[in-house]
Structure 1
């Protein structure tokens, strides 16, 4: 393992890629790839490991299997068998907390089956964190079906590659993004509630609203003018999205788009700042999606 050996400490995020059994074939899943990242409890990476795995029978790699993860028989023909990598997999997983997306129903059983096939006792976890039911319960269905690909698309993290180590890294990023939303949501609700209560009493409603947006939508220099660094999109009822391009910073034009009652998806990051001996964090809008009625 890169960055350190196993030892039972921390959390092992892992993912496996397998063959896809055909209907009525009587054959189970064969491991094709294993990838893991061991993190501290603060989700700081301390080590990683990835390996292709050659199944006993290469003919089990069907066209359906290849469409799923892109791993062909030629890809794994010279890869080690599971027996050859079993010690490494065991040292990574044994007596650690296991974590991953949908691992309780899929990845964990595949690991146990692989060890049973070589006549060895499987590694045992200290606990299991399955981010699929966890995020479904805590994050709701903001991202549709809550599959990893859907969550990655929701947060703008790119397409899922269906390769073990790539998927593990994506899982970690998705978890951090979701955790940020869950942490900030009550704070944002409190801030917005207090702000709305104040704004309703203010005769300068639109001016105050504009001032709030000025704080969270950064602008950058563009020659003698300034433009938004936030990506802003218009989403039609047909679900088509068009990126809005502003030639310069114009809060009047932005106010015409962001009006009371408008539906808006906002993607924030936490930005640190140090200004005139005052340091702290602030929310910065990275992307806005305005929904057309």
Structure 2
């Protein structure tokens, strides 16, 4: 058995198989591997699997036998398998006092293990820490793979082979899925501007049931949240928004240039739903600042980008001019004349979150603005 820095450093990925849909779930297989937490590789000669003979084979229904047959498990296999009490000490030694990992193990596998040990009047193993990949990946990877309860949904998302529902095979697939999800999340966090590929959509293209929120980063412990639509970041394009306020040098989150616009009823509905998802995820991640809604009196505030600048196209007398606003390089007076009440703007904006001086919420960051107004043809930015 290959061990690094002592056995207790290893993560135990395990899985149990039970009959279904019998009224009483009967445990018939256990499988496990030890995994190095630093390299996420299976340690040599640490895998274990065993079929387990039920105390009474006659209580298995025809449907259960049919499902077992699909897994190439015969009645003879179970007859010759050891009863649980004969493998209990081995399973206890594998699990007790270690870090447990598996998919949906908190609700399902852990309960089956305890029931099996209770059935032979022996104390059940206890974990030092529990990693349930169902909760972990639902929180961080979101719903992009579909039904996160089922490991085969994640396997299908990555194009893996079909899940065979045998304990040791499923354990290894679980580890493979975790590594692939981790790689995707790492790349998305390191390259947010290019991964995942996003496109601007108008409010009438948004499917509200397909919206959800996940943490914005998985490696630095911050409380920023990503609002997702299907499996990409939600980025909106809204036409002909009526500017309601002059440009302001400050907002609630930080020193940024902001201005307010009217929001349609549909845009308000979408952004209110964003607030619900983002606030729930923010609190789930440990945030405790007061959450401020993004929509106020049917108006929203747009913020110009501080880094990289907001691209501005000025629609003037039937022509367009491309200009970029940099946070530390602009003529505020000219900018104030450009963005003023009564004018209209086509806005392309993304959603960011802030947590500043005990205030938290969503801010709409303008990546691109198209200003519609009639002004003298004066260049307002160098």
Q: TM-score range by the shorter chain?
A: 0.5 to 0.7
- Which structure has the larger Rg? 2
Change (3 A) 1:192 1:11: closer
**Could you tell me whether the CA contact under 8 Å between 1:14 and 1:36 is conserved in 2?**
yes
User: Cα RMSD over matched residues?
Assistant: 2.3
Q: Does 1:167 align with 2:170?
A: yes
Offset at 1:191? 4.8
Report the equivalent of 2:216: none
**Could you tell me whether the CA contact under 8 Å between 2:102 and 2:131 is conserved in 1?**
yes
C-alpha distance after superposition, 1:48-94 (max 9, x if no partner): 10011111011233233234453343221101111111111011100
**Could you tell me whether the CA contact under 8 Å between 1:17 and 1:32 is conserved in 2?**
yes
**Could you tell me whether the CA contact under 8 Å between 1:12 and 1:96 is conserved in 2?**
yes
C-alpha distance after superposition, 1:230-249 (max 9, x if no partner): xxxxxxxxxxxxxxxxxxxx
Report the equivalent of 2:108: 106
Structure 2 counterparts to residues 258-273 of structure 1, below 5 A: none
Structure 2 counterparts to residues 246-265 of structure 1, below 5 A: none
Match for residue 116 of structure 1 among 110, 115, 118: 118
Which secondary structure does the structure 2 equivalent of 1:123 belong to? coil
**Could you tell me whether the CA contact under 8 Å between 1:90 and 1:123 is conserved in 2?**
yes
Structure 2 counterparts to residues 42-191 of structure 1, below 5 A: 42=38, 43-46=40-43, 47-69=46-68, 70=71, 71-146=73-148, 147-191=150-194
**Could you tell me whether the CA contact under 8 Å between 2:96 and 2:126 is conserved in 1?**
yes
Alpha-carbon distance in structure 2 between the residues aligned to 1:137 and 1:65: 33
Alpha-carbon distance in structure 2 between the residues aligned to 1:59 and 1:21: 15
Offset at 1:127? 1.2
Structure 2, unaligned runs of 5 or more? 200-382
C-alpha distance after superposition, 1:136-157 (max 9, x if no partner): 1110111111221111011011
Alpha-carbon distance in structure 2 between the residues aligned to 1:177 and 1:80: 36
Change (3 A) 1:192 1:3: closer
Alpha-carbon distance in structure 2 between the residues aligned to 1:95 and 1:130: 16
Change (3 A) 1:129 1:192: closer
C-alpha distance after superposition, 1:102-137 (max 9, x if no partner): 101110000001111111001110011111111111
Match for residue 28 of structure 2 among 13, 29, 32: 32
Structure 1, unaligned runs of 5 or more? 197-293
Report the equivalent of 2:10: 10
Change (3 A) 1:141 1:161: same
Q: Give the TM-score normalised by the residue count of structure 2.
A: 0.46
Alpha-carbon distance in structure 1 between the residues aligned to 2:2 and 2:67: 30
C-alpha distance after superposition, 1:216-262 (max 9, x if no partner): xxxxxxxxxxxxxxxxxxxxxxxxxxxxxxxxxxxxxxxxxxxxxxx
Q: Give the TM-score normalised by the residue count of structure 1.
A: 0.60
Offset at 1:18? 1.1
Name the structure where helix makes up a greater proportion of residues: 1
**Could you tell me whether the CA contact under 8 Å between 1:59 and 1:73 is conserved in 2?**
no
Offset at 1:96? 0.5
**Could you tell me whether the CA contact under 8 Å between 1:21 and 1:60 is conserved in 2?**
no
Q: Does 1:41 align with 2:37?
A: yes
Which secondary structure does the structure 1 equivalent of 2:9 belong to? coil
Alpha-carbon distance in structure 2 between the residues aligned to 1:180 and 1:92: 28
